[in-house]
Structure 1
Amino acid sequence: MLKEYKNILVAVDGSKESEQAFKKAVQVAKRNDSVLYIAHVIDIRAFESVSSFDESLAEEAAKVAKETLDSYVDYAREHGIEDIHCLIEYGAPKTVITKQLQKDYRIDLIMLGATGLNAMERILIGSVSSYVSRHANCDVLIVRTDINNKLLEKEKKKK
């Protein structure tokens, strides 16, 4: 029996990997006649290192995120998706995705791009995709290939 996904969340961060995850999420949402949630989580911890935190930094990050999400909505509509929700959230992406968004929107599939972190970075900070895959209470799809199922350049280099 095939699982039908009704509420799909794709987390995007501006990377090529997350763009590929988004494009695949559009395909999955279309096949399942699902609601598509496109989320960008602004990690405010990144601003902590700025000695004089200015609220305009977060506002600028939100503006750039909104522009990206708007272009993603256009793409999704062009590919037949009508029920699309854009989410811009603030906090630690790992927990916002697995604890807040999954619960608030009854997500039954989370799609993420594979990270480009090297082994040392994964040990020190961990990757969002690996955290989500371990802690989510729903199915998680980590996208490592493009729309034609060809490995992304970063994945090829790892091999």
Structure 2
Amino acid sequence: MYRTILVGTDGSATSFRAVSAAASLAAATGATLVLACAYNPMRERDRTAAADVLGDLAYKVSGGTPADDALRAAREHAVSAGAADIELAAEEGDAVDVLVTLAEKRRADLLVVGNRGLNSLAGRLLGSVPSNVSHRASCDVLIVRTTTGR
């Protein structure tokens, strides 16, 4: 039985699908749900330039505290899915490193991520978060189908 479930979110709609799946599982098992978001701080000039280039994906770099904003929104999804015992963790660093390290620190029994990136060319060439997490994590990993893969 899972006692601690850690799920990664970046504030995107697809990551919230993974959060909802993890929250439902946490509610069903009585597990603590840890919502995790990795971030890399940016200078304001770089943040503005990146937001201009990213367009619809600007949420990843805009705002005063993007990781905290993503976690607050993820908490709402988790509560809606039935999770009761929820902890938040915003950590500086690469997403894979942060998720694997947090899973170890929090003694997570299950690490949940979305499948975004698994079917992309960039994901195949550079490695995707779900793929890399599944190879590095020392606990069970659940990859939730959050995209159509097309």
TM-score when scaled to structure 1? 0.74
Partner of 2:7 in structure 1?
A: 10
Aligned counterpart for 1:38 among listed residues 31, 35, 40:
35
Partner of 2:58: none
Q: Is the 8 A contact 2:37 2:70 kept in 1?
A: no
Partner of 1:68: 70
Gaps in structure 1 of 5+ consecutive residues: 48-52, 146-151
> For the residues of structure 1 that align with 2:96 and 2:63, how far apart are their CA atoms?
18
Q: Give the CA deviation at 1:97.
A: 1.1
Contact 1:5 1:108 in 2 (8 A): yes
| Stretch deviating more after TM superposition (27-36 or 61-70) | 61-70
Partner Cα distance (2:45, 2:3) in 1: 36
Aligned to 2:116: 115
CA distance in 2, matches of 1:54, 1:9: 30
Structure 2: runs of 5+ lacking an equivalent: 48-60
Q: How many residues align?
A: 138
1:125-140 to 2 correspondences below 5 Å:
125-140=126-141
Structure 2 letter corresponding to 1:38: L
Q: Which AA in structure 2 matches 1:70? A: R
Contact 1:62 1:88 in 2 (8 A): no
Let me know the Cα RMSD of the aligned residues: 2.6
Query: What is the letter of the counterpart of residue 133 of structure 1?
Result: S
Q: CA deviation at 1:117?
A: 5.8
Contact kept? 1:6, 1:32, Cα under 8 Å: yes
| Structure 2 counterpart SS, 1:116 | coil
The structure number with the bigger radius of gyration is 1
* Contact in 2 for aligned 1:12/1:39 (Cα 8 Å): yes
Assess if the C-alpha contact under 8 Å between 1:21 and 1:143 holds in 2. yes
> What TM-score results when the alignment is normalised by the length of structure 2?
0.78
